[in-house]
Every structure is written in C-alpha cells, then in structure tokens.
Chain A
Amino acid sequence: MTSTAVKFPTFIARPRAEHGLWSWITTIDHKRIGTLYGVTAFVFFLIGGVEALIMRTQLMSPENDFVSPEVYNQLFTMHGTTMVFLVIMPLSAAFFNWLIPLQIGARDVAFPRLNAFSYWLFLFGGILLNVGWLTGEAPNAGWFSYANLTEKPYSIGHGVTYWILGLQVLGVASLAASFNFIITIVNLRAPGMSFMKLPVFVWMTLVVGVLIIFAFPIITVALIQIQFDRLYGLNFFRPEAGGDPVMWQHMFWLFGHPEVYILILPAMGIVSEVLPTFSRKPLFGYPFVVFAGVSIAFMGFFVWSHHMFTVGLGPAATAAFSLSTMAIAVPTGIKIFNWVGTMYKGHLRLNTAMLFAIGFVTMFVVGGMSGVTHASPPTDAQQQDTYYIVAHFHYVLFGGSMLGLFSGAYYWWPKFTGRFLNEKIGQVHFWLMLVGFNLTFFPMHWLGLDGMPRRIFTYATGMGWDSSNYWATIGSYLIAVAVLVFIFNVFYSRKRGAVAGADPWDGRTLEWTIPSPPPEYNFKVIPHVKYRDDFWYTKHPELVAEMEGHGGHGSAGHKTISGAADMPPGITGEHGDTGGHGVHMPDKSYYPILVAAGLTFGVGTLLIQEPVILRWILPAIGFTFAFVSGLGWAFEPVNEPAAANDGH
C-alpha cells in the first residue's frame, strides 16, 4: 500500500466507535453517508419549504403586509438557492451514495474518505449560506445574484457575501463528490458489467458527474470574480471601470443551464429504474435513453443565453441560442417516449413509487412544453421575469425532480431500511402532493401571461390576480400537508412497516441480490454480470432466449471490458467465501470532517474585513488547519495494519 512504507507522525488516534454520534462523524461507509445526505437535505427541504410558505402567505391577498419587501427579497433568494443547492442536488447525492456501489456490484466508492469529506463540506457550506438568517442579513439578490446589483454600493451588508462564500464551499463539495462517483462508475464495475449493461440510474449519475466537473469551475471563477469585486475593490463587473455586468450573466448561465440538467437527470435515472420494474418489462430503448441523457448533457452547454434573450445580444446570437434550445427538447422528448413505451402493454403495478414515477413523467411534460415556449425569443420577451417562468421551472424541478426523488424514496426504502413505507399513507401523500402542486403552480401560467411579475412582494387589487393567488396559496398548504404525511409515514413505518426481503419488487438490478438493509460490505461475493438487467434474467431464465433472439442486449460475442470470464484465479483473493468475515472495509477517519471544517472556516472568515489584521489571520488559520489535516489524511493508511490482522 502506498502509505505504509512511510512513517509519518499520527496526529490523532484512529476512531473506533461503532455506534453513536462519533461513529456517524467518522463514518466513511457510503450507505451511512447516503443517509446523512438524505436527512440533511430533507431538513433543508423543510427550511426552504417554510420560506416558500411564508412567501405564498404574503401573496395570498393583494397589498398584504405579512412580511416586509426586504424580508421577501431574502425569502425568494434563499428559497431558490436552498432548493437548488441544498435540497435537490444533495438528495440526488443521497441516492448516488446509497445506490451506485450497490448497482455496480462494488463494496464502496473509489474514495471513501473523499466521500465523507464531500458530505461535511456540503453541511458546513449549507450552514454558512444560512448564517445570514441569524444575523438578519440573508442573501437577497435572487438565486442568480446578477451583477452589478451585487456590487458594493448596491448590496451593502454581508448578505450577498454569505451567498458567494457559501456557494464556493458547496461547489467544492459537489466537485469532490463528482470526481468520486465518476471514478467509482468507471473503475469499480463488477466483472462483466460493460458500460451498456449499466443500470440507467448509474448512467445518469455518470452524466451528472461529468456535467458538474465541467460546469462548476465556471461558477467558481464567477464567484471568485464577484467576491474580489466586493471584498477587494476589483473591477470585473463595475461599468464605471469598464467592466461588463452582462459578463456575469454569461458566466452564471454557462454554469446555470447545465445546472438544471444536473438537477433533473438523477430523477430521470430514478424513474428509468422504477418504471420497468413496475411495468414488468425491460426499459424500452435502453440505448436511446442513455444517449439522450448524454446528448442533453452535451447540448446543455450550448443553450445558456436563452436565459438572456431580453438582454439584447443581437439577432445572430439570439437566433443561434433559440435553435439550440429547441434542439435540446428532442433528446428530452425521446426519453418521454421511452418511458411511455416501457409502460405500454406492461403489467403495471400502481403502487406509490410507480405513481410518483408516472407523476414525474406527466408533470415534466407540462414543464417541458412551457419550456419550449420560451425557446422562441419574441414569446420569451413577454414571459421574462413573470410568474410564467416560475410556473415553468417549478413544473420541471418540483413536478420533475422532486416527484422523481420521492418515487425513488418509496422504491428503495425497503432496501435502505429493511421495511416498506406504508402503502396507504404513501398514496395519500402522492395524491395530496399532486393536487397541491398543480393547484399551486398551474394558475401561475396565466398569472404570468397576464403580466404578474415575479420577485415583487405584493400586487395591487383589481389586477384580476386575487383568486389565482389565493388558490395557489391554498395549494402550497396542501403540499405542506403532503410533506407532513410523508414524515409521518417515515416514523410510522420505522417500527410498523412490513418487513421487506432482499428483493421485494422482483427487481432487475444488483442491489436486490443482497439483504435489506445491506451489510456493511454490501456483497459477500462480487457478482459477475452477464446481461443487462442481469438479476432479472437470472430469475427468469426462460426470457433469455427471447431477449437474445431479438438481437437485444445479450452477451453472446460481447466482449466484457474487465474480461471477467477469463479472470485469473488469483484475483479471488485468499479469503474465499467466508460469509463476509474476511472482508476488510476501510477504517473510519476523523480527517474528512477536520479538513472540511478548516476549509469552511477559512472561506467563511474571508467575510470579516475589520479589523484589517483579522482579514488575513482568520482565513490563514482555517486553511493551515485544513492543510495539516490534509497531510494527516494523506499519510493515514486506508486500513490500520493492526485492524487488518485481527480480521474484524
């Protein structure tokens, strides 16, 4: 091993706790980290939801004064930022963490400690972003914080600075997690699992990872620039020095548009697993779903200026981005047809997970349709900055991403916990949420077309917007009730949920071959994959001939990447099948949380500008702490030699 040859001072003893708080703080088990991601993101979901409810209450009647305009600005900024960066992305990360190793037949991710580091950085970044609520100056310039509104004379106070620094930390967390998942998927696939045999959810995770590593550096640079402008008086976006505020818009949306695919593709992956299972058919047109996902990611980098049609970029740029935006609807449409084709003539089982998946497909179609309407610049000019836009992106991000994530929650809950979520409560949850969601957001289409501007804390009476706003607010309360029903279901099912076996849904992917909940080491024996949906054909050998007869996706003459069939006997290791007792999982570690804490402290204290001496000393302390902890991490063996010998 790399580091055992090197004697290096051990700063702190290796953590040993197996239970309790310390075991969670030091864990590097991908399943526990997935749980941490899920729980934390759900708490942020509740915070972001409360922010939305306060806004809806304010808008329930015209000329309301439930909150002040200043607070309202903070609410819509933090609601958007929270839901994008602290809810949908980390909830997707919770599924990545739990499922990627299980679906590719691996015992953990490629870099378990880096994985823990990503989580802690996400948590600390989320806290940094929300600190503003405690000091009374939360970020208030909208989730895309347009320059030069965010420059010093226009945004005084620390609000926007919290936003910049918090997102900077969250960006590093997302990047670290993406490197980890890309390499896990590329490098830790079970023998025989070539790329075209990967479950679609794994494919979409890979695509999201690639999107993140190419999109996030752009926002990192943009944030550095606005931060330098604000804190140190540089000139990037200051027109009085020749800087161009539109440059910020380009940088932000060059990141921001790939970001919306980062938010939707995981949910697309989830429903691509749920629909075939409950239609009892293989996914219709697997290669099309995969390549549509890849081409969405690729084209996603060439459509950003459709967020900027009203800026006035000139006819050539506007026409080009209009065309590319219409073109990107094609691969998205292909996926819709694939999902419908999967359900067509299937033996549908309409349980909660399936209902949420179908809800995803239908709601996403509505959001996609309204999306195509603003691909046309003249139409977009009328819709810009109105509630029509709000309706559109809530249909794709709530009706799309969130319903998809709930579908995944109901589908994999038995695998995560060993018990089903209650089906009846689940159906109540689904219908309440679907009705509440449509009641909230559908009226916003015509509110927007009628000219109601977004981001304005109130509206005048007599505009004809009163009843639509009233019902939208009622709908948002229904969503809140639906979320409470879900929380109740989680607690109810903890003790009283029906016990699930290893394979409760007659599943197709590898996670259903191991017990629920999975043991720490996941697979006693690393599986050897022959077919796409391998487990399904193992259970239904009579279907193999039919599948191969159709020239489908069989393995005949299909050379596997790892050449597992000819794998030398030596690689089976000295352990044999010892019931999992011979498997050494990587040891727990303190260093991920220490490095994350040091980095967040260093970035967070850049905020403190007075007195001048603290401006440099506090960040220096944070970064030095992170560097020293990083050294400890680098020289800490993955397994303590002693632990490896006592055989657990």
Chain B
Amino acid sequence: MAQAPAATYPHGQANLPAESHASGHAENTSTGLGHRKLLMWTFLGSECMFFGSLIATYLVYRNQNLNGPYPSEIIDVPITSLSTFVLLMSSLAMVLALNGIQRNKPRLGRFWTLMTAALGSVFLFFQVFEFHEFAIHGLTPRTNLFGTTFFTLTGFHGAHVTLGVVLLLIMAFVFSRSGREKLGLVLAVSGFYAVGVALLAHFFKIIPPIVGAPAFVITALGLAAMAGGGYLLAKPAAVRNVKAVSENLEITGLYWHFVDIVWIVIFTVVYLISANDGLGLAQGLGH
C-alpha cells in the first residue's frame, strides 16, 4: 500500500495565506467572487422562499374573511403608491451611493448612502402611519384573515427595511473618520428622526403628548440639528480603503434592492390586486 507522506504530495503549488482565505478577497477564490458577496446572493435566494411563503399564505387566504374590515374598505392605493415611489427612489440613491464610492468621491457616496437610509425611513414612516390608520378603522392582526396575513407579510418586509436602514447608517458611520464628521453624522441622523417622529405625532396623533407646540419645537430643533450636521459633513472627506468600503456597500446594496423588489410584488399582490376585495368568497357561497 502506498503511504504518501504529506509533505511530498506532488502537485502542491500555491501556498495561500490563510487569512486571505478567510477574508475572501475575490482574487483568491475559485469563482473570482468574494465570499461575502456570494453569501449575500445565497442568502437572498433563501429569502425568496421566505417571502414566497408569506406571499403564498396571503394569496391562499385572500377573500376568505368571515368579517370586516375588508381590503376594499381600508386599502389606500394612492398613498401606498406614494410610499412605493419613495422606496423605489431609495434604490436609485443606493446606486448613486455606490457609484460615488467607486469613483473615489467619499462625500458623494456618504450623501447618497444617507439619502438611501432617509428614503427607506420615510417609507417606514408611511408604514407606521398606515398600521395606525388600519388600527383606528378596526383592523388589527387578530381581526380577520386579512389582518393576520397583511400585518405579518408587510410587517416582516418592514423589519427587513429597518435592518437595511441600520446597515446603511453603520456604513455611513464607517466612512466618517474624524470626530467632526462623526458628530455631524449623529446630529444629522438624530435630527432627521426627530422631525419625522414629531410630524407623524402631530398630524396623526400617534403619540398623544407630542401635538401642537411640543411637536413644532421638536421639529425646529431637529431641522437645526440636520443643518448643523450637514455643515459638519460638508467638509471634504477621505476613505482609506475604498475597495473594501465599496465592496461592503455593494453587498448592502444587493440586500437593499432585493427588499425593494419584494415590495414591488407585495404592492401588486396586496394593494393593486386586492384593492376591490370585499365580502369574501366564504360569504358569497352562503356561509
């Protein structure tokens, strides 16, 4: 029996350092793609089945409600079209952010990264408003099958958008190297959310104490913080490792675009197709 000692195994050639294996720089992998980018693609494949199952459940239970409110009484297609437009524009901002970084213009890249997160957040504000409105009109997850499937499907989509916003904000923080920039970033982001929450609270009475004067004070402070943050961030910035940052941003972008595409399906299925769903088939058949 041939006992080939390890060291003399003949075809040996490349002695790749292990860390290059682990960090997966594209040039050292079998496919030429980085490990993490491949991970994101595989993950998104898996996510297709996740959202596919939720959407399938929605479709199976469509028109099976035993009691109202029915979709036709409650769904507001024009407003959701507006929020859909905002979310789709965030994908454009995402592309511009990556483009900025790849052209080695970090300030531009950071601006559009923040824009993406902002547009995503506006979409989430719309969703908070919508959930609140539905609850006022008597639709909760417990009310009927539409409530159960609607809130679960759009809720999990909203959670995905939220995770994407968090990733983008971390990404923007990573670009920002000096204390001045970090301060500017914290001011701008917290100002933005203060304005958003105050406006939501004032106009839709979501948080009772923040109505009228307190809401306007918070809005004014938030706007001031955004202006101050913007001033601090306006100074030219530098990113040391453009390649690594742009790879991270590209991978985050894959996720972001995927979540947008899922929304296009949800918008079609839940809003456009179901907009006229009234009394379910169950009643129609005389149950």
Which residues of A pack against B, CB within 8 Å? Answer: 1-6, 106-108, 110-112, 175, 179, 182-183, 186-189, 191-193, 213-218, 220-222, 224-225, 228, 232-236, 241-244, 247, 251, 501-503, 506, 513-515, 521, 523-530, 534-535, 538-540, 561-562, 564, 567, 571-573, 575-577, 582-586, 631, 634, 638-639, 644
| In the bound complex, CA of A567 to CA of B148 (Å) | 57
Max chain A C-beta neighbours (<10 A), residue from B14, B35, B145, B241: B14
Tell me if B17 counts as interface (CB < 8 A to partner A): yes
List residues of chain A with CB within 8 A of the CB of B2.
503, 506, 539-540
Contact in complex: A527, B11 (CB < 8 Å): yes
User: 8 A–B contact pairs at CB < 8 A?
Assistant: A1-B19, A2-B244, A179-B43, A243-B61, A247-B61, A503-B3, A526-B14, A573-B16
| In the bound complex, CA of A454 to CA of B27 (Å) | 56
User: Taking the nearest CB of chain B, how far is it from the CB of A59, in angstroms?
Assistant: 37
Q: Main SS of chain A's interface residues?
A: loop
Interface string of B141-156 (1 = CB under 8 A from A): 1101101110010001
Q: Contacts A186-B31, A214-B49 hold; do A107 and B13 have CB atoms under 8 A apart?
A: no
Given contacts A217-B47, A235-B145, 4 further A-B contacts (CB under 8 A): A224-B156, A572-B13, A575-B17, A583-B18
List residues of chain A with CB within 8 A of the CB of B6.
502, 513-515, 524
Q: Contacts A179-B43, A586-B18 hold; do A5 and B241 have CB atoms under 8 A apart?
A: yes
List residues of chain A with CB within 8 A of the CB of B28.
571
Contact in complex: A225, B29 (CB < 8 Å): no
Which residues of B pack against A, CB within 8 Å? Answer: 1-7, 9-24, 27-31, 33, 35, 38-39, 42-43, 45-47, 49-50, 52-54, 57, 60-61, 64-66, 141-142, 144-145, 147-149, 152, 156, 170, 174, 239-241, 244-245, 247-248, 280, 282
Contact in complex: A111, B35 (CB < 8 Å): yes
Q: Contacts A1-B23, A191-B13, A535-B4 hold; do A235 and B54 have CB atoms under 8 A apart?
A: no
Q: Contacts A191-B14, A573-B17 hold; do A242 and B61 have CB atoms under 8 A apart?
A: yes
Name the contact of A179 in the complex, choosing from B1, B17, B42, B248 (C-beta under 8 A): B42
Max chain B C-beta neighbours (<10 A), residue from A2, A193, A535, A564: A2
| In the bound complex, CA of A321 to CA of B45 (Å) | 25
Contact in complex: B18, A217 (CB < 8 Å): no
User: Taking the nearest CB of chain B, how far is it from the CB of A239, in angstroms?
Assistant: 10
Contact in complex: A221, B11 (CB < 8 Å): no
Contact in complex: B15, A232 (CB < 8 Å): no
User: Taking the nearest CB of chain A, how far is it from the CB of B206, in angstroms?
Assistant: 18
Contact in complex: A538, B50 (CB < 8 Å): no
| In the bound complex, CA of A143 to CA of B31 (Å) | 40
| In the bound complex, CA of A224 to CA of B151 (Å) | 13
Name the contact of A561 in the complex, choosing from B12, B30, B247 (C-beta under 8 A): B30
Q: Contacts A214-B49, A506-B2, A525-B13 hold; do A242 and B145 have CB atoms under 8 A apart?
A: yes
User: Taking the nearest CB of chain B, how far is it from the CB of A492, in angstroms?
Assistant: 25
List residues of chain A with CB within 8 A of the CB of B64.
242, 244
Q: Contacts A110-B24, A175-B46, A213-B46 hold; do A244 and B16 have CB atoms under 8 A apart?
A: no
